[in-house]
Amino acid sequence: MATMIENEVPQGLNADPMIPQLYRIDRVRDETDDTFTLSLVPENGEAKISFLPGQFNMLYVFGTGEVPISISGNPAMTSVLEHTTRSVGIVTKAMGLLKPGDQIGVRGPFGSHWPLNEENGRDFVIISGGIGLAPLRPVLYFLMAQREKYRKIVLLYGARAPEDILFKKELERWRGKFDLEVQVTVDRAASGWRGNVGVVTPLVARAPFDPSNTVALLCGPEVMMRYAVMELQKRGVPHDRMYLSMERNMRCALGYCGHCQYGPGFVCKDGPVYRFDQIASVFGKSEV
């Protein structure tokens, strides 16, 4: 029924940014019990996928609703769009039931991105918790593809349990190249686990990076990022070299539904990635 798609409906953001473009699910990969990665290809086959690490799309499940999901794929790949999400709400649960061949609506990409090109010659410390690793995976792809431009790269990652660790294959592969330091910790583990147990933030204190020449990228629960910022401050990383990905409710992603306001900004257009000094006045204040 491909003819269903071939109509005069204006496609793309030029016409009306509230109209989703249709994509087809090419592959569904289960990452953990409740987390999965969708590989999407545009129904309009000519469209090239283009995004910057840290950006997100609005994904629409037919009749159910639309949610913002960060892009988790390799920014160098222009044929497939990848999103990793956890089934928590009505829409993401419905998304988890989709199969290859099903369609999904996509609007985007939206928002700011992680600082990458302008940070040659620096150490990178990447701190993430849970599903917060998804918007950082494009960064890891990007950094590893031009590894020689950067100095130390450290990933500190906290998951609930060993079976909740995302992107195991990629992490093992990158760690196997001996030039990416990966430290993983879990909240709880059975007796077979020999790694760290506990929250991720104490790992910052002894992580191998040079605070005077480091860029820190943070994504995870706000409470995790709050303690991570404190630990980074203790090590002497300046505010203007810490970057955080924030999350708020979003309905339009275009800057005028008002839902994603975070203090003086809109997470959809000023974020989701903020340099810490941009939000320091409101960060950590309750219920802002």
Asked if 5 interacts with other proteins (CB under 8 A), we say yes
Asked if 12 interacts with other proteins (CB under 8 A), we say no
Asked if 16 interacts with other proteins (CB under 8 A), we say yes
Pick from 263, 275, 280, 284 the residue near other proteins by CB under 8 A: 263
Nearest by Cα to 284 from 244, 253, 240: 244
Asked if 20 interacts with other proteins (CB under 8 A), we say yes
Cα gap 112→124, rounded to integer Å: 19
Asked if 101 interacts with other proteins (CB under 8 A), we say yes
Asked if 9 interacts with other proteins (CB under 8 A), we say yes
In one-letter notation, the amino acid at residue 261 is: Q
Pick from 55, 103, 214, 245 the residue near other proteins by CB under 8 A: 103
Residue 165 CA, distance from chain mean position: 15
HEC readout, 205-258:
HHCCCCHHHEEEEEECCHHHHHHHHHHHHHHCCCHHHEEEECCCCCCCCCCCCC
Asked if 281 interacts with other proteins (CB under 8 A), we say yes
**End-to-end alpha carbon distance in the chain:** 47
Please state, as a whole number, how many other Cβ atoms lie within 10 Å of the Cβ of residue 79: 12
Nearest by Cα to 250 from 262, 236, 260: 260
Rounded to a whole number of angstroms, the minimum distance from the CB of residue 158 to other proteins is 16
Nearest by Cα to 134 from 196, 69, 186: 69
Residue 214 main-chain phi, psi, to 5 deg: -125, 140
Residue number, 176 or 258, with CB nearest to other proteins: 258
Rounded to a whole number of angstroms, the minimum distance from the CB of residue 160 to other proteins is 14
- What SS3 state is found at 104? strand
Pick from 77, 145, 197, 288 the residue near other proteins by CB under 8 A: 288
Restricting to residues 231-250, which ones interact with other proteins according to CB under 8 A?
247-249
Asked if 45 interacts with other proteins (CB under 8 A), we say no
Pick from 87, 213, 233, 261 the residue near other proteins by CB under 8 A: 261
Asked if 164 interacts with other proteins (CB under 8 A), we say no
What does the binding site for other proteins look like in residue numbers (CB under 8 A)?
A: 1-2, 4-5, 7, 9-10, 13, 15-20, 22, 60, 62-66, 88-89, 101-103, 105, 247-249, 251-252, 254-259, 261, 263-266, 269, 281-282, 285-288
